Amino acid sequence: MHYIKKDYINVATDDREKNIPIWLLNESEEIPEFTCHFHAWEVPSNAKTTVHQNRERLSNARELLKEFTRNYTLSELQAQPPPVGLDKTKLESYLSDEEFLTTTQMTKEDFYKQPIWLQNNKRKALSLY
């Protein structure tokens, strides 16, 4: 699965417009607008797609980020398998602050101050693993 660092997109200080498109590229499906920045780039001999096909497969990273940064309900996180692309070691972090407090009887800040073994016990009790 592809992981995108939302902090970089939100706080980039290179004077780009905040709404500039940010695309997710898959290995061996890079487009010339990307590869031209790497002078020694060589197209793999086993490349299966053409440049035109690659353009059609581009994914808007901002749209993907909406899925990875939204809040989920406890039942969504307990589903097997859990939603794609989430950090499965910290599923509780995707709960809203209100649901987190209701579910764990503590704030997220207090939860993460606890020793790891206590955090893991709480995750197991909530079937978040």
75 vs 66, residue with greater confidence:
75
> What per-residue confidence (pLDDT) applies to 42?
76
Do 63 and 79 fall into the same domain? no
Number of domains within the chain: 2
51 is in which domain, residue-wise? 6-67
Question: In which band, very low, low, confident or very high, does the pLDDT at 114 lie, cut at 50, 70 and 90?
Answer: very high
* Out of 45-54, 100-109, 120-129, least confident range: 45-54
Is residue 111 assigned to a domain? Answer: yes
- Asked if pLDDT for residue 90 goes beyond 60, the answer is yes
Q: What is the mean pLDDT of residues 27-50?
A: 72
Judged by average pLDDT, the poorest of 86-95, 96-105, 113-122 is: 86-95
pLDDT in the model for residue 116: 95
Please, what sign has the CA dihedral across residues 64, 66, 72, 76? negative
User: For 89, phi and psi rounded to 5 degrees?
Assistant: -85, -10
Q: Confirm if 8 and 17 have CB atoms less than 8 A apart.
A: no
Residue 14, in any domain of the structure: yes
Same domain? For 63 and 33 the reply is: yes
pLDDT for the residue numbered 111: 96
CA dihedral 97, 98, 99, 105 (to 10 degrees): 90
Q: Clarify whether residues 19 and 54 are in a common domain.
A: yes
User: Does the residue 61 lie in any domain?
Assistant: yes
Same domain, 63 and 12: yes
- Locate the DSSP E strands across 4-56: 23-24
Average pLDDT of the residues in 115-119:
96
Same domain, 86 and 46: no
pLDDT confidence of residue 21: 67
Distance between CA atoms of residues 62 and 75, nearest Å: 25
Shared domain for 51 and 93, answered yes or no, is: no
Q: Is residue 1 part of a domain?
A: no
Whether 62 and 87 map to the same domain: the answer is no
End position of a domain, from candidates 20, 45, 67? 67
- Residue at 63 is within a domain: yes
- Residue 17, pLDDT > 80, answer no
The number of helix segments (H) and strand segments (E) in the chain equals: 8, 2
pLDDT at 1: 36
